[in-house]
Structure 1
Amino acid sequence: MQIERTAIVGSGIIGRSWAIVFARAGVPVRLYDSLDDNRAKALERIAEALEKSAALVGDAAARQAVLERITVADTLAEAVDDADFVHECIDEKLASKQAIFRELETLAKPTAILATTTSSFPVSTFASDLPGRARCIVVHPATPPHLLPVTEICPAPFTNQAITDATFAFMTRCGQVPVLIRFEQSSFVLNRLQAALVVEMLRCLNSGIISPGDIDKIISQGFGLRWAFLGPFEGVDLNAAGGIRDYLDRFGFIFDDMAKQNGHAGPIVTPEAVAMLEAYTRDQLPLDQIGERTEWRDAAITSLRALKQGLV
């Protein structure tokens, strides 16, 4: 499936950011918002965001070229009538999603992909009854997507595999980093990971064991520096000479104990989980290269700290 033209419904922070993502990749965008004031100010706000993210776009001429690929439509029908990819970015209300997808089903051409940027509602909760439900899919970004490329792709059980494949390819083409959510669950994965950390931070805060400022320091001056270059599993893999299996063999009981405290019935560091993690990490990095990768990590963190010092 070839995506040559896009439409975005909703010109809030997310909608404008997606417009930049698509236009930055050379794809024309039609942007629509039901509020007159939002439509009137959309291009001005996009221009401001382009200037602030110039390092990812280029000089003034390059930014102007991106802006010229974005037009604001006066009606929903005008926005979506010839789009190959329609991205809904309206308010996070289930009834609103149901209503707009009923309209998109009628107004968009039958071959158009209908994507939603919802952060909480699986497609099956609002598109199950649509005749064209097979073309509906979740495309949920970190905010804002023109700066943070990771993007969750979550098909419904009824989503056509070709739609999932085309969406994955399009996100990659646009410079995003798509990740596949294999089956539907509320809030998908990105927000659930974030929520798990926030819940534990609030638990610690409410217990009086630590201050809000010190919690922030643990992330910004600790995990955040490492996670800027390595995912958590990659980071764990470098924490033991024998890799992630070695680490979990020695320290996995800590996570099992914490899981039990949080109500999990059984261990979470299972043999199956360890096997999957070992296969993943060894595919990424041979065991005999851990020392070299650790040196790279340390050099990267040193560079990031120096950069942060210059920005403060």
Structure 2
Amino acid sequence: MKQVAVVGGGLVGSGWALVFARAGIPVRLFDASEDIRQAAPSRIRASLLDMLEFGLVDDVDAIARRIEVVDSMVDAVSAADYVQESVFERADVKTAVCAEIGAAIRDDAVVGSSSSGIPASMFTEQAPRRSRFLIAHPVNPPHLVPLVELVPAPWTDPEIVPWLREAMEQVGQVPIVVNREIEGFILNRLQGALLNEAWALLDAGLASVADIDRTVAHGLGLRWSFMGPFETIDLNAPGGIEDYAQRLGTLYHSIAQDRRDPKPWSPDLIEFATAERREVLAKPELEARSAWRNRRLMALISHKRGQPER
């Protein structure tokens, strides 16, 4: 990647711009909203200053200078080797934007979509140069949480996935490949399983919102911040993963059987959970708490960088 374009300048798009600029790559950022275009530079600089405090970047000005906000889609994407599309998460919006991107890119450019769960086949089928499109789904904020899910459409050029996986690794991200399209991909299906169980436990009156959150923040999440579920269980029984499966596989199967008829998140339950959360965090404080979360992530990343992988 020698030139990158980011289409969509909100929280995810701005984070992506930081990922590439931090790696030394010039970025052209475009958003259809003039307000978002005007706000992007200050948001990006504020993030960089926080990252500087935690030792995650060295030169704020140099990184910021690599990000140019432009006033048209064509200006952003026409010379780009790679385009990261990060517009509103709706198939019709992405269809229109990808058609515009596809008409303006070079024949050899690659376009990754930040879609959280909508497969690329739902919005790139009619796009010009559709073989150059795939999903490149980050975790928000992408400049702090490095995972990227790469999901090709049925018509994606097969040479693109290995190229983009290597390119993402070179800019400091941690890519995974989803071998075929599935709604929600990998991350949100895992997160969805936990969320659905959390809502079911709340609905049954078994624990409060706060105590369910504590279970993850002070229990499961501590291990999950540096290892995944298979490594976790491999280390949680003396004989490894097969020993764990023999000991607890029946229990987990029984739990899964208990949830064979999942209920949607009901309006009453959502209202109940919202009320408990608003007691501890008023709605006007959400933005400040998000900034606190980002700074906690920065501290965790800084710590992990100083620890051995093995």
TM-score normalised per structure 2 = 0.82
Query: In the alignment, which residue of structure 2 is the partner of 1:260?
Result: 257
Deviation >3 Å, runs of 4+: none
Match of 2:44 in 1: 46
1:225 Cα deviation from its structure 2 partner: 1.1
**Deviations 1:90-135 (CA, angstroms, capped at 9, x unpaired):** 1011111110111111111111101110112101111122341111
Residue identity (%): 40
Is it true that 1:57 corresponds to 2:46 in the alignment?
no
Equivalent residue in structure 2 for 1:72, among 69, 75, 82: 69
Distance in 1 between residues matched to 2:56 and 2:37, nearest whole Å: 23
**For 1:219-254, what per-residue CA distance to the aligned partner results, in whole angstroms no more than 9, with x for missing partners?**
111111111122111111111111010110121111
Asked if the contact 1:6–1:85 (Cα under 8 Å) also holds between the matched residues in 2, the reply is yes
Contact 1:23/1:29 (<8 A) preserved: yes
Deviation at 1:138, TM superposition (A): 0.2
Matched, 1:36 2:34: yes
- What is the match of residue 155 of structure 1? 152
Partner of 2:168: 171
- Conserved 8 A contact 1:6-1:84: yes
| Cα displacement string for residues 169-201 of structure 1 (whole angstroms, at most 9, x for unaligned residues) | 111011000011111011111111111111111
Supply the RMSD in Å over aligned alpha carbons: 1.4
Task: Provide the C-alpha distance between the structure 2 equivalents of 1:81 and 1:229, rounded to a whole number of angstroms.
Answer: 39
Q: Residues 95 and 127 of structure 2 are in contact (CA less than 8 Å); yes or no, is this contact kept in structure 1?
A: no
- Corresponding residue number in structure 1 for 2:243: 246
Give the Cα–Cα distance (whole angstroms) in 2 for the partners of residues 192 and 57 of structure 1: 30
Q: In 1, are the aligned partners of 2:22 and 2:57 still within 8 Å (CA)?
A: no
Q: Deviations over 1:53-86 (max 9, x none)?
A: 2235334xx1111111110111111111100001
2:116 equivalent in structure 1: 119
**Distance in 2 of aligned mates of 1:168 and 1:84:** 14
- Any residues of structure 2 matched to 1:134-153 within 5 Å, and which? 134-153=131-150
Task: State the SS of the aligned residue for 1:31.
Answer: strand
Paired residues of 1:32 and 1:76 also in contact (CA < 8 A): yes
Secondary structure, aligned partner of 1:53: helix
- 1:217 aligned partner: 214
Report the Cα distance in structure 2 between the residues aligned to 1:209 and 1:87, rounded to whole angstroms: 43
**Residue 261 (structure 1) shift:** 1.9
Query: Tell me, what secondary structure is at the counterpart of 1:151?
Result: strand
Provide the C-alpha distance between the structure 2 equivalents of 1:20 and 1:40, rounded to a whole number of angstroms: 16
Give the secondary-structure state (helix, strand or coil) at the position aligned to 1:148: coil
Cα 1:138–1:100 change in 2 (3 A) is same
Which 5+ residue runs of structure 1 have no aligned equivalent? 265-303, 308-312
2:206 maps to amino acid: I
* Distance in structure 1 (CA, Å) of the matches to 2:142 and 2:235: 29
SS at match of 1:7: strand
1:290-309 aligned at under 5 Å gives the runs: none
Aligned residue among 200, 212, 227 for 2:224: 227
Cα distance in structure 1, aligned partners of 2:119 and 2:90? 12
* Cα distance, 1:56–1:102 mapped onto 2, change above 3 Å: farther
Residue 190 of structure 1 pairs with residue 204 of structure 2 = no
Contact 1:24 1:57 in 2 (8 A): no
Q: What residue number does 1:19 align with?
A: 17
Partner SS, residue 160 of structure 1: coil
The residue type paired with residue 194 of structure 1 is: Q
Instruction: Name the residue aligned to 2:89.
Output: 92
Pick the aligned partner of 1:108 from 95, 105, 108. Answer: 105
Secondary structure of 2:159 counterpart: helix
Task: Supply the distance in 2 between the matched residues of 1:113 and 1:229 (Cα, whole angstroms).
Answer: 31
Q: Which has the higher contact order (CA 8 A, sep 6+)?
A: 2
Instruction: Tell me how far apart the structure 2 counterparts of residues 111 and 76 of structure 1 sit (CA, whole Å).
Output: 18
Count the aligned residue pairs.
262
